[in-house]
């Protein structure tokens, strides 16, 4: 096994990007992701890459647009209020089918909120924070190692599907330090970016366009990208299950909350309560199938989030009334504890 | 028979969609001629604006991308940083550059991005039907200043070229016009110089082009061209605003 280093989640995202060959980073300062921006400034300086601290989030996401249009692997990162500002660019990038990676280390809102962790940007990420019918591939890692692994993989996914990918972490994951194995990145070969803007030498000029004025043209383009989304749903959905085989009650949580829920499941098992966990890793595409399947055999499902209840809507859509779906959440920087979750389960068991 | 005049090789044969008397077609052609003369068609990448010139990419045989409204210089920055050996230009109107994209153009200029900006100032929002632009002059009637621009209510025409000239990253900024042949000749010289500044890796260059929009000025093409000479240049005098390309 390779040597391990102690690294923050924010640093792990940066190193994952570097190892995936990202040499273009554009960002604007915001807590709790500043370590990532600083990491990219240092590493890209060493490697002769490009780091620009932009004048705004709008400029940062559009520099990513330009770098991606030029054929490069490019990344930007921010936290919730900054990600709101990037939504215009994300819609254009999705419409133009440009690959890139966007990192959101979520903090509590609404408004300026607080720099404390949160998962309240789930709707914005997976339901389309910008205008138009588009999908943002969204990954919810749950450890420093996963932040590294998935950020590296995100560049491949983005290039493969010509689609933006979001790494959806939170202030907790971004700031905490854990041992990290910096694995060498191996990825399947991808076809050349023949669509990229490199100067029209010996070929027809390439044009990157989202404005489509001819009757029916935009509808056809929409159909094309919706078909792509169907393929992504089929090929990309990932999740983890913990003790679900004989489970009578199922917890569903992602990211930091999933780690807390995992502990809760083990503690509940010690008390003889047959609990299990489904952890969606891809948040879009969403692992509805496994939730649907398991919901046939359990008494109820409990979704736990650091929000007022956002992902729980996707859980309800997956369960479709096969069993009750309950919710426990904390907001505004509050983080659920395993004690709180166990208490909630016991209360539901009495009610059930 | 000797051919003495034709379409620049860097342009397509697609007819312009612009209104009768509009200056965009002239500015496009000047850019096409300059690209041909500098021999850079196969290494030029353009970023048109949101506005009347949004579909400029149909008219050029060079790689081009759309950009969100006003973010044109940020998109161009991303491209140029990936391809420092290519020639990257933005083409922006007064709304795109001097209103919604003010931050992007100031910081691109201040960073000394090696890009060239062609800034077409016709004092109105053309595509959306003639609203007030940041460059609309005091007293000028538009659909959103029906009584004329009142400086007490909505301020003054912005002098963005002069503003950009005080940034240390800008190297060459000139204001020209395309309302008559003598000015058009000077405009072409300025555009060529702006591209040359980029080719010599000196810094940010921009040419502001005063252009006529007869439809939205509610004038005949002839009147619109005369209005530039008689009225507009009092607010926006022509000439070199900054040139440190020799330094």
User: Does A48 lie at the interface with B, CB-CB under 8 angstroms?
Assistant: no
> Model confidence over B138-185: pLDDT tens digits?
999 999 999 999 999 999 999 999 999 999 999 999 999 999 999 999
> Model confidence over B64-113: pLDDT tens digits?
999 999 999 999 999 999 999 999 999 999 999 999 999 999 999 999 99
Instruction: Check whether A1 has a pLDDT greater than 90.
Output: no
- Cβ–Cβ < 8 Å for A312, A123: no
The answer to whether residue B71 sits within a structural domain is yes
The answer to whether residue B5 sits within a structural domain is no
Looking at the fold, whether A325 and A286 belong to one and the same domain comes out as yes
Please list, in sequence order, all residues whose beta carbon lies within 8 angstroms of the beta carbon of residue A196, skipping any fewer than 6 positions away: A69, A70, A71, A206
Report the CATH number at residue A325: 3.40.50.920
| Residue of B75, B84, B89, B113 to mutate, testing the A interface (most A Cβ within 10 Å of its Cβ) | B75
Report the CATH number at residue A181: 3.40.50.970
For chain B, what is the domain count? 1
The answer to whether residue B10 sits within a structural domain is no
For helices A57-69 and B102-110, the axis angle rounded to 10 degrees is 70
Contacts with B104 from chain A: Cβ below 8 Å: 55, 58-59, 62
**Distance (Å) from the C-alpha of residue A54 to the closest C-alpha of chain B?**
8
ipTM: 0.97
The answer to whether residue B7 sits within a structural domain is no
Looking at the fold, whether A26 and A112 belong to one and the same domain comes out as yes
Looking at the fold, whether A169 and A291 belong to one and the same domain comes out as no
Report the CATH number at residue B208: 3.40.50.970
For chain A, what is the domain count? 2
User: Does B41 lie at the interface with A, CB-CB under 8 angstroms?
Assistant: yes
Looking at the fold, whether A119 and A224 belong to one and the same domain comes out as yes
Looking at the fold, whether A104 and A253 belong to one and the same domain comes out as no
User: Does B66 lie at the interface with A, CB-CB under 8 angstroms?
Assistant: yes
**Distance (Å) from the C-alpha of residue A65 to the closest C-alpha of chain B?**
6
Cβ neighbours, 10 Å, residue B5: 4
The answer to whether residue A198 sits within a structural domain is no
Looking at the fold, whether A154 and A48 belong to one and the same domain comes out as yes
Contacts with A56 from chain B: Cβ below 8 Å: 103
Q: Is A259 helix (H, G, I), strand (E, B) or coil?
A: helix
- Output the CA torsion B69→B74→B76→B80 (10° steps): -170
Residue B145 has what DSSP assignment?
Answer: B
Given this model, what pLDDT does residue B1 score? Answer: 82
Which residue range is the domain that position B173 belongs to?
Answer: 24-243
The answer to whether residue A50 sits within a structural domain is yes
The answer to whether residue A202 sits within a structural domain is no
The answer to whether residue A82 sits within a structural domain is yes
Which residue range is the domain that position A307 belongs to?
Answer: 240-351
- CA dist A6 and A178 (Å) reads 5
Cβ neighbours, 10 Å, residue A177: 14
Looking at the fold, whether A223 and A317 belong to one and the same domain comes out as no
Looking at the fold, whether A172 and A320 belong to one and the same domain comes out as no
Instruction: Check whether B247 has a pLDDT greater than 90.
Output: no
Looking at the fold, whether A111 and A226 belong to one and the same domain comes out as yes
- Strand runs labelled E in chain B: 44-47, 63-65, 87-93, 116-121, 124-125, 131-132, 170-177, 204-210, 239-243
DSSP strand pairing (B131-132 vs B124-125): antiparallel
Contacts with A64 from chain B: Cβ below 8 Å: 78
- CA dist A199 and A121 (Å) reads 39
The answer to whether residue B84 sits within a structural domain is yes
Give pTM, 2 decimals: 0.97
> Model confidence over A270-325: pLDDT tens digits?
999 999 999 999 999 999 999 999 999 999 999 999 999 999 999 999 999 999 99
- Average pLDDT of chain A? 97
- Residue A196's pLDDT band (cuts 50, 70, 90): very high
Up-side HSE of residue A26: CA atoms within 13 Å toward CB?
28
- CA dist B83 and A186 (Å) reads 26
User: Does A66 lie at the interface with B, CB-CB under 8 angstroms?
Assistant: yes
Closest Cα in chain A to B107 = A55
Mean pLDDT of all residues in A60-85: 98
| Structure-token pair, residue A325 | 């779906």
Q: Which residue has the tokens 């914005």?
A: A124
- Residue A3's pLDDT band (cuts 50, 70, 90): confident
User: Are A69 and B64 within 8 A, CB to CB?
Assistant: no
**Distance (Å) from the C-alpha of residue B64 to the closest C-alpha of chain A?**
5
The answer to whether residue B125 sits within a structural domain is yes
Q: Which residue has the tokens 């077409």?
A: B120
User: Does B78 lie at the interface with A, CB-CB under 8 angstroms?
Assistant: yes
User: Does B74 lie at the interface with A, CB-CB under 8 angstroms?
Assistant: yes
Element (H, E) at A150: helix A144-161
Given this model, what pLDDT does residue A351 score? Answer: 77
Looking at the fold, whether A246 and A225 belong to one and the same domain comes out as no
Cβ neighbours, 10 Å, residue B146: 8
Quote the distance between the C-alpha of residue A331 and its chain's center.
19
The answer to whether residue B28 sits within a structural domain is yes
């Amino acid at each position: 096994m390779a040597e391990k280093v102690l690294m923050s989640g924010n640093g792990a995202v940066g190193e994952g990007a570097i190892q995936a060959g990202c040499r273009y980073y554009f960002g604007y300062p915001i807590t709790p992701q500043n370590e990532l921006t600083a990491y990219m400034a240092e590493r890209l300086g060493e490697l002769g890459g490009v780091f620009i601290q932009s004048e705004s989030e709008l400029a940062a996401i559009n520099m990513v647009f330009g770098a991606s249009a030029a054929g490069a692997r490019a990344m930007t990162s921010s936290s919730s209020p900054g990600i709101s500002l990037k939504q215009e660019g994300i819609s254009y990038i999705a419409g133009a089918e440009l690959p890139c990676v966007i990192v959101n280390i979520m903090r509590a809102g609404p408004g300026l909120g607080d720099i404390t962790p949160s998962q309240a940007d789930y709707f914005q990420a997976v339901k389309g924070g910008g205008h138009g019918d588009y999908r943002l591939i969204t990954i919810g890692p749950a450890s420093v190692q996963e932040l590294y692994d998935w950020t590296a993989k995100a560049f491949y996914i983005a290039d493969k599907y010509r689609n933006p990918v979001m790494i959806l972490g939170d202030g907790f994951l971004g700031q905490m330090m854990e041992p990290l194995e910096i694995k060498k990145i191996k990825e399947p070969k991808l076809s050349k970016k023949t669509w990229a803007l490199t100067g029209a030498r010996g070929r027809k000029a390439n044009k990157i366009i989202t404005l489509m004025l001819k009757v029916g043209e935009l509808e056809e383009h929409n159909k094309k990208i919706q078909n792509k989304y169907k393929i992504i749903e089929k090929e990309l959905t990932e999740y983890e299950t913990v003790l679900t085989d004989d489970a009578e009650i199922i917890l569903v949580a992602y990211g930091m909350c999933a780690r807390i829920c995992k502990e809760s499941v083990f503690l509940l098992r010690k008390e003889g309560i047959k609990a299990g966990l489904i952890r969606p890793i891809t948040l879009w595409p969403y692992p509805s199938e496994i939730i649907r399947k398991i919901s046939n055999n359990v008494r109820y499902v409990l979704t736990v989030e650091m929000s007022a209840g956002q992902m729980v809507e996707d859980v309800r859509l997956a369960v479709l009334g096969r069993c009750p779906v309950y919710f426990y959440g904390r907001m505004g920087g509050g983080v659920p504890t395993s004690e709180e979750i166990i208490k909630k389960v016991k209360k539901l068991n009495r009610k059930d | 028979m000797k051919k003495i005049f034709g379409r620049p090789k860097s342009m397509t044969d697609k007819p312009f969609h612009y209104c009768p008397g509009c200056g965009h077609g002239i500015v496009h052609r000047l850019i096409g001629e300059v690209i041909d003369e500098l021999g850079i068609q196969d290494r030029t990448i353009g970023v048109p604006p949101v506005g009347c010139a949004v579909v400029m990419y149909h008219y050029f045989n060079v790689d081009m991308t759309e950009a969100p409204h006003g973010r044109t210089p940020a998109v161009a920055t991303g491209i140029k940083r990936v391809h420092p050996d290519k020639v990257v230009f933005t083409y922006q109107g007064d709304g795109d550059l001097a209103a919604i994209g003010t931050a992007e153009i100031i910081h691109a200029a201040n960073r000394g991005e090696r890009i060239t900006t062609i800034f077409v100032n016709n004092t109105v929002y053309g595509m959306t039907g003639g609203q007030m632009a940041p460059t609309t002059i005091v007293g000028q009637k538009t659909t959103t200043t029906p009584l004329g621009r009142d400086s007490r209510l909505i301020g003054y025409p912005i002098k963005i070229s002069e503003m950009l000239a005080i940034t240390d990253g800008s190297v060459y900024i000139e204001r020209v016009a395309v309302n008559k042949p003598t000015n058009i000749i000077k405009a072409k010289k300025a555009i060529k110089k702006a591209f040359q500044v980029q080719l010599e890796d000196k810094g940010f260059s921009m040419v502001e082009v005063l252009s006529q929009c007869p439809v939205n000025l509610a004038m005949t093409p002839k009147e619109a061209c005369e209005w530039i000479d008689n009225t507009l240049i009092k607010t926006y005098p022509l000439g070199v605003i900054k040139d440190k390309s020799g330094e």
